[in-house]
Chains A and B, each alone.
Chain A
Amino acid sequence: MSTDRTNRPEQPNASATNRTAPDAVDASAFVNAVDNRGDTKVALAGSGLAPGKPRKVSPVSRLISHPWFGLVIVALAVALPFIDSRAYTIRISTDALIFVMLAVGLNIVVGYCGLLDLGYAAFFAIGAYTSGVLTTTFGWPVIATIPCVVVAAVIGGLLIGGPTLRLRSDYLAIVTLGFGEIVRITANNLEFTGGPNGVFGIPDFGDFGLRADIATYWIVTVVVALAVLASARLGRGRLGRAWRFVREDEDAAEAMGIHTYKVKFAAYVTGAIFGGLAGVLFAVHQTAISPPSFNFLYSALILMAVVLGGMGSTPGVVVGAVIIALLPELLRGVENWRYFVFGVLLIVLMIFRPQGIWPHRVGETPAKVRRKPMREDDVEVVP
């Protein structure tokens, strides 16, 4: 029953995309067949495509891909404490939002750039520990630790990315897995990180005259909303395109003058910054952090959110992260079985929707199409 509630908003979208999917699959299978044969006779057979016509979009998917849709979601998130201000609700919602930020950050590395990272929780740990140690041991305010967190995350990204980004993705996955464990075990053994006890007594962002958990929740909401927006916009810009080029075909990207190593590095470092900042939010929210929070399972869960939602699709990844973060909570009704049910539900979802709940749609927005004829006059003048 509780599962129903989470999935309902997605249902119309799911069926809407399903309706168009078979054509796309058929067409690509056809093109592949042509490609493999390299045969001239069939090459032109599929040219019945309407030139320059954007793909038909169903009203539902138009609604959910409307720019204001995200704003409505953010408004709802901000309004949550007015609807239900129980400490439990606020706590799991804050957890879910922080998880969204992690998923969106990992999406830059895995979804946009196609680099499989199995140790993403390492950057999360670096952020949480940097902030935690600076606030407790040195008495800094949380805000002041942010530049240090960014620097630490970038250094972490450089350390692991520098020597390994030349590797092919399968080897990269193994190295990142190792990196994640190294960071966790280092935190477990160092004196100033509190060893296995971790860091505790991490202060809030400040006193705003509100209930402390609600104040933190609102700050987290704003930061995560901005992070989601930033990652979505990055994905559409010049750098975002370069990431996708690298994911699709590294050689072809090189042949177009794109320095693939630098581009991969940028993805890695950007992902690290997102992870580090999420770590700050996590440290403040939990007030205490310890090494077991950053184990491999956590990295795997973040990756699962990305894959479940739809790699490279920001709204999909947000939905995926919310599901992964909240589903175990919503399944509390089935008591000891909840992680079993959780696992089965994930398997079922991946079987029936391997492309993710809300996959990235390639079709460009008609807005760009409409603007084109206006510039047609320029074309005559330029040559």
Chain B
Amino acid sequence: MTAPARIRTGSGEKASWLLEVDAMTVAFGGVTAVDGLTFVVNEGEVLSVIGPNGAGKTSAFNCITGFYKPTGGRVRLDGTDITGMRPARIAAMGVARTFQNLRLFGELSVLDNVRAGMHVRIKQSAFDAILHTPRYHRSEQEATDEANRWLDFVGSRGNRYNEVRNLPYGEQRRVEIARALAREPRMLLLDEPAAGLNHNEKEQLLDLLRRISDLGTAVVLIEHDMGLVMQVSERIVVLNYGKEIADGTPTQIRSNPAVIEAYLGAGDDVEEEAEKIAGLSDDQVFGQGEGEQA
């Protein structure tokens, strides 16, 4: 599959991190959803954010992308402070996201949905549209071609010319990722992309995530499917009750007692449990945790 042309932003020397979350706190009334969260995302890295439901993962995403204003702490993108900026501005700076519950433009065609991602790059004024100037035709053609290429990239097979809401769920998920990719982000935040997918579709998602990573895009993933997380992540951040409890490679996380406690609940024999669990496969360990939350 051919990937669309993209600009590589290889400014590794300039800033050491692509995204820097520094002591970020979000409180809703008396509830502190995110409590002093600190982590970094490196250029082109695949990072997973995991934790039980209500741990503050989505709240953290919403703060990074500007949908919530953090009550404390800073968020920096490539050295620029983006704390409290408008979501559109953060998106224009190269941060694209998907939503936990699909947020497609249901009444619009699949192609139009993907064109949304290109909106900031389409060079066309209202007058071009009214007068149908050559620039209008050129930019529309480019947008259509690029939208098609991104849909090919994510392996979308549905009808692209009609309403996106008529597509099956798994296909809609793909379109949402295509839309985010069309933004040509430096960092892509995916909020539970595997939710509601069957085994086969999860395999395809895994492959897709690797190909996205190959494009040089950093991927930050919120996901409950531990099989997927362990296979695709270079690094994992674990949250519980809004606090970061672990940050490390999949292997480190797997054997971290605090993580196991968060997922299985504290007990007198946590240490023993942990040792026992270390011998089991990931799915068995985290499968239970997942069941608990569902």
Contacts and interface: CB of A to CB of B under 8 A. Distances in A.
A is bound by B: yes
A257 B85 CA distance: 12
Contact of A233 (B91, B112, B130, B170): B130
A289 B195 CA distance: 61
A256 B119 contact: yes
Nearest to A380: B2
Interface string A225-243: 0000010011011111110
A254 B91 contact: yes
B119 A40 contact: no
B87 A255 contact: yes
B167 A49 contact: yes
Contacts of B69: none
A336 B173 CA distance: 57
Nearest to A249: B103
B197 A369 contact: no
B105 A55 contact: no
Contact of B159 (A28, A53, A251, A368): A53
Contacts of A28: 106, 163, 165-166
A295 B117 CA distance: 42
Interface in A36-74: 38-41, 43-47, 49-55
Interface residues of B, number: 69
B4 interface: yes
B201 A24 contact: no
Nearest to A55: B162
Interface of B: 2-5, 65-67, 86-89, 91-92, 96-97, 99, 102-109, 111-112, 115-117, 119-120, 122, 124, 126, 128-130, 132, 136, 139-141, 144-145, 148-149, 157-163, 165-172, 179-180, 183, 195-198, 201
Given A55-B161, A233-B130, 4 more contacts: A43-B201, A238-B129, A244-B108, A372-B145
Interface of A: 24, 27-28, 31-32, 34-35, 38-41, 43-47, 49-55, 230, 233-234, 236-242, 244-245, 248-249, 251-260, 266, 270, 362-364, 368-369, 371-372, 375, 378-380, 382-383
25 contacts: A31-B165, A35-B102, A40-B197, A40-B198, A49-B159, A51-B159, A54-B161, A234-B129, A237-B124, A237-B136, A241-B116, A248-B106, A249-B105, A254-B86, A255-B65, A255-B99, A256-B117, A259-B88, A270-B126, A362-B108, A362-B109, A362-B162, A362-B163, A371-B141, A383-B3
